[in-house]
Structure 1
Amino acid sequence: MRKTDFFMKAGDPKALTVEQLMQDAVVRCTSRTDASTIAHMMTHRNFGSLPVVEEDGTLIGIVTEYDLLQAMLDGRDLRKILATEIMSTHPVTVTEDQTLAQVADLFQDRYLTRVPVVRNNQLVGILARRDLLYGYMKASQYWS
C-alpha cells in the first residue's frame, strides 16, 4: 500500500518522497526460484519484473519480462533455469528519502518502468512510474 492513499490535503507533488509513493508489499523471489515459477507469478499478478533477494532480504538482482523472453527465444526450458542464471545483477535502485522530482528524472533518463527501493541493501519496496503519477495526482488534489 502507498502512503499517498491516506493523503488528506494537497501539497507540493514534487516534494513527495519515495517512501510515500512506493508499494511496500513486494512480491519477490530467491536466486533458487525457477524461471517458470517466476513467469507464472509475473503473468498471474500482472508484474513486469520480480526482485531477487537473499534469505535476509538483501537485493541481489531483478528478473524482467525481457530476461524471461530472451531465455524463451534462446530455446531454454524455463523449468530448468534458476533466477540467478537470467536475472539482471546490480539493478538501478532508489532510496526512501528521494523525491518524486528526483526519481521522475531517473525514470525518464534511464527509460525505467519500475525500480526496487532499498534501505541498507535490503528490499523495502518497489516504485513504478504509475506510482509517481498516482502520487502527483493525489498531492495536487486532482483526486479526492
Structure 2
Amino acid sequence: MFIAYGPGITNPIALEKLFVKPAVAKVAKSAEMKNIKQEDTLHRDSSSSAYRSERDRAKKAYQSEELTQKQQPSLQAAQIMTTPVVSLQAQMPAREALKILNANDFRHVPVLSSHNQLVGMISDRDIYRCMCGSDAVCLHCSSASEAVLVESVMKDQVLAANIDTDARYIARLFVEQRVGAMPVVENNQLVGIVTRGDILKAVMLHFNLDIWE
C-alpha cells in the first residue's frame, strides 16, 4: 500500500488508482469500440447492461493479474530501503538544507514537521530552481534567500510506501511517474527511503526475473 503525505494529510491510496493495468486498459478499449458500434441502440451509461458487463470483465482482469503477482516471490520495501534515513525539518532554512544535501551527495531528502511527521520531500533542484542556494533573491517568493524555509520550496504532497509494499510497485512508479525517491513508513513514522540506486542494487542482488515481473 502507498500513502500520500503532506501538511495535515495522511491519505492511503489504493493500487488501482496509481496504475493503469494493461489487461484493464485492453478491456476498456474493447468496451469503448463496442459502445461506438452500438451507440444507436444502447445508452452508454451506468444503467446499461453492456456497460456493466464490460466493467465486470475489467474488474476480473485486474483481480486476476493481482492474484498472479501475489503468487510470485517478491521483495518488500523494508528489504531494499536505505535506513536509517536522513531527514530535514520543514522550518529549516533552505540554504542550510542545501549544504546537507551537497555534503552527503543526496538528491532527495524527506521533510518532517516539528512533530516528526512526514510532510514533504525536497531535492537539490527544488532549491536551485528558486535560487535559494545563492545570494540572490528567491525566485519563488521574492524573499531574501537566507530567509526562505524548506517548507516554502519542498514538494508538500509526497507518496510513501509501507515497509511491506511490494518493491515491484515502487520500481514501476519510478519508471511510469518519474519518481526519484520514495520514503518508507511504518505506523506513519519515517523509517527509510528507497532511491533509484536501491532499486538497481536490489536487481543486481536478486537477479531473478520472477521477482520483478
Pairwise same-fold verdict (TM > 0.5): yes
Matches within 5 A, 1:1-144: 15-72=74-131, 75-76=137-138, 77-140=144-207
Task: Name structure 1 gaps, 5 residues minimum.
Answer: 1-12
**Residues 80, 194 of structure 2: 8 Å contact kept:** yes
- Gapped runs of 5+ residues in structure 2? 1-71, 139-143, 209-213
CA-CA distance at 1:14 after TM superposition:
6.4
Q: Distance in 1 between matches of 2:107 and 2:117?
A: 20
Measure the CA separation in 2 of the matches of 1:95 and 1:54.
19
Deviation string for 1:72-110 (max 9, x for gaps)? 088324321111111111112111111221111111111
RMSD: 2.1
SS of the equivalent of 1:61 reads strand
| TM-score normalised to structure 1 length | 0.80
Q: CA deviation at 1:134?
A: 0.7
TM-score, normalised with respect to structure 2: 0.56
Q: How many residues are matched?
A: 129
- Per the alignment, in what secondary structure is the counterpart of residue 163 of structure 2? coil
Whether contact under 8 Å (1:115, 1:126) holds in the other structure is: yes
Structure ID, larger Rg: 2
Deviation at 1:131, TM superposition (A): 0.5
The offset of 1:140, in angstroms, is 2.6
AA aligned to 1:84 is E
Identity of paired residues, percent? 26
- Separation of aligned partners in 1, 2:171 and 2:93: 33
Bigger relative contact order, structure 1 or 2, given CA contacts below 8 A and separation 6+? 1
The aligned residue for residue 6 of structure 1 is none
CA distance in 2, matches of 1:14, 1:51: 29
Cα deviation code 1:102-124 (max 9, x no counterpart): 11111111111211112233211
Contact 2:90 2:114 in 1 (8 A): no
Aligned partners of 2:108 and 2:180 also within 8 Å: no
